[in-house]
Amino acid sequence: MPSALINVPKKAKRGDIIEIKTLMSHIMETGYRHTASGDVVPRDIITSFTCRFNGTEVFRADLFPAIAANPFITFFTTVTESGKFEFEWIGDKGFSETAQASITVE
Amino acid sequence: MKIALCIAFVTTMASVAFATEIPQSERRSGYSFMSADTKAMQDEDTANPGMLFVLDGETLWKRKAGSADKACADCHNDARVSMKGIAAHYPAFEKALGRPVDLEGRINLCRTNHQQASPFAYESRELLALSAYVAQQSRGVPIAAGDDPELAPFVEKGRELFMQRQGQLNLGCTNCHDDNWDKKLAGSAITQGQPTGYPLYRLEWQSLGSLQRRLRACITGIRAQAYDYGSPELVELELYLKSRARGMPIETPAVRP
């Protein structure tokens, strides 16, 4: 049941700097832990996060095993036109999730 | 002179060290002991990782399960209406069992009796998600557990467990959470142990966890044998803690360090 929480302002003025906050549900298993019987718990992490605005990439991050469960990623960007932010998380074991949010620029 | 004062202070401490219950006016949620960053994480729903579980809980609420092929919503309708304030009264007395059950126990009773489904395992994602979703409907509602007169003997049992010294360190809950909540242990605030935000997201756990998990961790910490999940002792402790926090607002899903 992967789920994401996205916080994008609904409205902004042309040229405003806006903050975008994203929270993605994921266990971020490091691959360095062992079970009681000594078997390695296989790595299962998100490896990449991308944000596109109207198709153009505005933010990208690579994620690594040291990042805590349920990664919370926030960043700033400027907006010059109304449009749609698309978010994509890609990870181990074929993990792939998307979310989107719209903004109106006045 | 200073040493004499110190000795006098320590002696006074020792003489009040037993069962000094926290006055109503001094009760504080674990929230008030946290850093500004952690508070901000709890305050904003899109930054609070506990909300991810609440979202899952909302999905589960509407999903049909068991051989009765019923969802929670088929009997209880909209949780935002039907479950408002419910969690504030848990643990509650269950007539059929003749003892109190906590919110997780109630959800599992509903699953076995009404959905005819297998109960969720303790600390499973499903049980945490559903209990978080139900408890979140009571956010801001004052805790009202332990009012039922039938619960009185169980509150008392919980209180006895809370006061009872045990384990290799020979500590009772009260020795930290009544007597030393204004101090620190290994750099962390001890807190009063007021269960206002369960199930809550602990950064240390990197997950949501129930009050029973918290209690078991504490009991292991004093090097005693922890009670099993779902055991009457843990429910009695939960009940006592909730009645001790009566009137304090529910914060579910809270965030703690």
Same-domain check for residues B169 and B252: yes
Residue B218 a catalytic site member: yes
Q: Which residues of chain B, if any, have pLDDT below 50?
A: 1, 5-17
Q: Check which CATH number belongs to the domain holding A28 and give it.
A: 2.60.40.10
A30 touches chain B (CB under 8 A): no
Question: In Å, how far are A31, A34, A42, A44, A69 from A39, measured between CA atoms?
Answer: 11, 5, 9, 15, 21
List B73, B218, B221, B230, catalytic entry: B218
Angle B179-B213-B160 (CA atoms, 0-180°, nearest 5)?
45
Question: Per residue in B94-136, pLDDT tens?
Answer: 999 999 999 999 999 999 999 999 999 999 999 999 999 999 9
Question: Is there a contact between A6 and B46 if contact means CB atoms under 8 Å apart?
Answer: yes
* Token pair of A21 as six digits: 């906050």
Among B106, B136, B166, give the residue marking a domain's end: B136
Same-domain check for residues B206 and B122: no
Same-domain check for residues B149 and B39: yes
> Cα dihedral sign for B87, B89, B95, B98?
positive
The whole-model pTM stands at 0.90
A69 touches chain B (CB under 8 A): yes
Same-domain check for residues B224 and B130: no
Q: What is the mean pLDDT of each run of 10 residues along chain A (106 residues)?
A: 87 95 96 96 98 96 96 95 96 96 94
Q: Does residue B6 have a known ligand-binding role?
A: no
Distance from CA of B57 to the nearest CA of A (A): 10
Same-domain check for residues B157 and B248: yes
What pLDDT shows up at residue A1?
A: 58
CA distance from start to end of chain B: 40
Question: Is there a contact between B47 and A1 if contact means CB atoms under 8 Å apart?
Answer: no
Among B110, B136, B162, give the residue marking a domain's end: B136
